[in-house]
Chain A
Amino acid sequence: MKNKKNKDKVLISPGHRACAGCGQMISAKAATEGMGNNVIVANATGCLEVTTTPYPQSAWKMPWIHSLFENASAIASGIKAALNYKGKHGEGRAKNIKVIAQGGDGGTFDIGFGLISGMWERGEDILYICYDTEAYSNTGVQASGATPWAASTTTTPAGTGKNIDAIGSHQNKKDMISIALAHGLPYVAQSTAGYPMDITAKVKKALEIKGPAYIQIMTPCIPGWKVKPSDAMKLGKLGVETGLYPLLEYIDGKLVNSSKIDKKVKVEEYLKLQGRFKHLFKTARGKKQIEYIQKLADENIKKYELKK
């Protein structure tokens, strides 16, 4: 291996074109730190792809491919199959190359969902990382299957009408963690941009375990969530401290680690920093939604045994 650059610890270089303070970029950098330099990455269409690879430049120092929005998982399956073939045909080093697919929540929860299920069914040794901005950030913050209850997005905008449409999104966030577990994955984990070292550690762990792995990372989107560029990490932490987005780790279907809550933080503390929830603080109906969101957080605390 001649390439000196590839010995760098940082496999995603500075100079990308993401927004200042981008939660996804913090998380992607932390993820690459756990990958090592013997990996191939398949990336879905989205912010991470667009901001890092304007032809003829690239911020990636590892072999990296982007095909389409929905097929990063199947591309990764093809890479894995090719490496398996090479491994049996005189290229022993191919056996040790790790394969990672990654995408945003739109590419994971929605358009790429079926293909991810197909990849998991096949049981291939591939890590899938979802950077969850809870909306289609790249196209201008439209709602996705990952959008939480009562978030205002450009296709679920808060309004002044009398019916339910006025509250913003009125679908619950799809539970991808449970769906991943239902596929029998040996490693499933959740993290947030507030804990880069946790992300790095989970990526490392996922790559050590043989078989399919899924890591979902909550990554605050500065323009999408209408938050201050300096708040991405803080929101990542508040997501955990409220119980809305706990740090989780499942091995062979068993919850082995979760972020314990010392003193419960009310969901208001998390919501009030975000323009996408601003409308909830203005009306009685909005306040009811906050109560409902608190209920969701409380349910998480129970479900994931977050109480100390």
Chain B
Amino acid sequence: MTNTNNQILEGSRAIALTIKKIRPGVISAYPITPQTHIVEDLSQFKADGEVDYEYVRAESEFAAASIVEGASATGVRVYTATSSQGLLLMTEVLYNIAGMRLPVVLTCANRGVSAPITIWNDHQDSVTMRDAGWIQFYAENHQEAVEQHIIAYKVAEQLGLPAMVNIDGFVLTHSYESVRIPSEADIKKFLPDYKPKKNGYLDPANPKTMGAFATPAHYMEIRQALHDDMVDALKVIIGEYQAYREIISDSAPFSTSKQLMDNGLLEYHGPKKAKTIIIALGSVAGTIKEAFERSNNVGVLKLKVMRPFPEQHVLDIIEQVKPQNIAVIEKAISLGAEGPLAMDIKTALYGKTKAKVQSFIAGLGGRDITKSMIKKIARDIEKEDDEVKFVGSVN
């Protein structure tokens, strides 16, 4: 990787340029802030004759998801992007796409959900969709977003599973960073043209029924097969992350000596032994790393994939670093319970560690998560209580 190929790009533009080079056959989308810049760029490429995909204007996100589903079922590579209410409106289709085993790739520009209505960033939209059978990537920065989109297609098309790449609305979609978009030739080396299996798509030459209904005699096994393949995706993601490094970029863009693990599913950044580990998804991981850059007792565990949940890899890090405290900072809440990621972490660690795990909710509806708020969380976790805490300020 040479810096001479880097450009200063808006996050949305970096993603649009990446999708352009991935060369989907059909794109369909419906506008919603803060996803709009991505689909505007993709429409402009089409208007300027730079691309050969079909761009289908949808009258709702529900239609957009259905259109890419129909196109994917006909055996072409597809793309859509949405956010917040749009993702929720797609819900029924998203579950269906996963059950139909279609490798649809979607960008979610993460935004809070109504009410009250907000256009600003949190993770309530995508986290709410965690049980739908979609692989969920979360990007920390522009470069990671670019990379995760390319890997998402590779994994999705291999396993017949849909994948969602989550990028924080505004924080990533509307900010400018130095980023390198791989060349189309390099992408093609890593991600060849999509060739669905024969008999795997709708074609009069091989008539196939898709979407048959299942009685209790079959339904459960079909759902279990979907789960088993989601779990298998963990290995595939690790393998493709490695392959990506070899074929497209020879080093992780942000690797430092402080990393104990960086495998496409998660990344640990911090001391080899730490008193406290902070776990987070997405762009806030960057702020957390910075807050504890010089710390000898606080480490950061960034999850890059939330589904499938990398349970064993989380456990490996906890067993190596041996923290007393684990603070899970989340931009989402399962109302009436706690942060969904905190629940996953507790499940993974149950009976395997004496460390205290606590759920901290921060940054809802675009509230800034500052370094001082993060430091406060690192102090608060040492206190006696272990209830879910909302951290909206340092007071």
Contacts and interface: CB of A to CB of B under 8 A. Distances in A.
Given A85-B25, A114-B60, A115-B66, A64 B71 contact: no
A37 B207 CA distance: 10
Q: Interface size bucket, B side?
A: 35 or more
A66 B211 CA distance: 5
Contacts of B93: 67-68, 71
Given A54-B215, A56-B212, A78-B74, A63 B58 contact: no
B56 interface: yes
Contacts of A1: 204-205
Interface in B182-240: 202-215, 218, 222
A77 interface: yes
Question: A6, A83, A85 — which one has the most chain B CB atoms within 10 A of its CB?
Answer: A85
Contacts of B206: 3, 63
Interface string B56-78: 11111011001111111111101
Interface in B238-291: none
A207 to B, nearest CB: 13
Contacts of A75: 66-67, 69-70, 73
B74 A79 contact: yes
Contacts, number: 169
B202 A40 contact: yes
Interface in A68-93: 68, 70-71, 74-86, 88-89
A50 B204 CA distance: 22
A10 to B, nearest CB: 13
Contact of B214 (A2, A55, A63, A118): A55
A82 B55 CA distance: 10
Interface residues of A, number: 51
Interface in B64-101: 66-76, 78, 92-93, 96, 100
B208 A63 contact: yes
Question: A65, A66, A86 — which one has the most chain B CB atoms within 10 A of its CB?
Answer: A65
Nearest to B92: A68
Nearest to A1: B205
A199 B100 CA distance: 32
B386 interface: no
B136 interface: no
Contacts of A154: none
A50 B213 contact: yes
B52 interface: yes
Nearest to A78: B70
A67 B25 CA distance: 20
A157 B334 CA distance: 41
B209 A64 contact: yes
B96 to A, nearest CB: 5
Question: B70, B202, B204, B208 — which one has the most chain A CB atoms within 10 A of its CB?
Answer: B70
A161 to B, nearest CB: 37
A55 B213 CA distance: 6
B345 to A, nearest CB: 34
Nearest to B67: A78
Contact of A71 (B26, B62, B75): B62
Contact of B69 (A2, A60, A63, A67): A67
B93 to A, nearest CB: 7
A76 B92 CA distance: 17
Contact of B25 (A6, A58, A86): A86
Interface string B36-70: 00000000000000001110111110110011111
B81 to A, nearest CB: 16
B70 A61 contact: no
B28 interface: yes
Contact of A42 (B70, B76, B96, B207): B70
A58 B209 contact: yes
23 contacts: A1-B205, A3-B205, A38-B204, A53-B209, A55-B214, A57-B212, A58-B212, A64-B202, A64-B207, A66-B213, A68-B66, A68-B92, A71-B66, A81-B26, A81-B56, A82-B71, A82-B75, A86-B25, A114-B60, A114-B63, A115-B60, A115-B62, A121-B59
Interface of B: 25-26, 28, 52-54, 56-60, 62-63, 66-76, 78, 92-93, 96, 100, 202-215, 218, 222
Given A64-B207, A118-B58, 20 more contacts: A3-B205, A5-B207, A50-B213, A53-B213, A55-B222, A56-B212, A68-B66, A70-B62, A71-B66, A78-B68, A78-B70, A79-B73, A80-B70, A81-B54, A81-B70, A82-B26, A85-B76, A88-B52, A97-B204, A118-B63
5 closest A-B pairs by beta carbon, nearest first, are: A78-B70, A74-B66, A118-B59, A82-B74, A66-B211
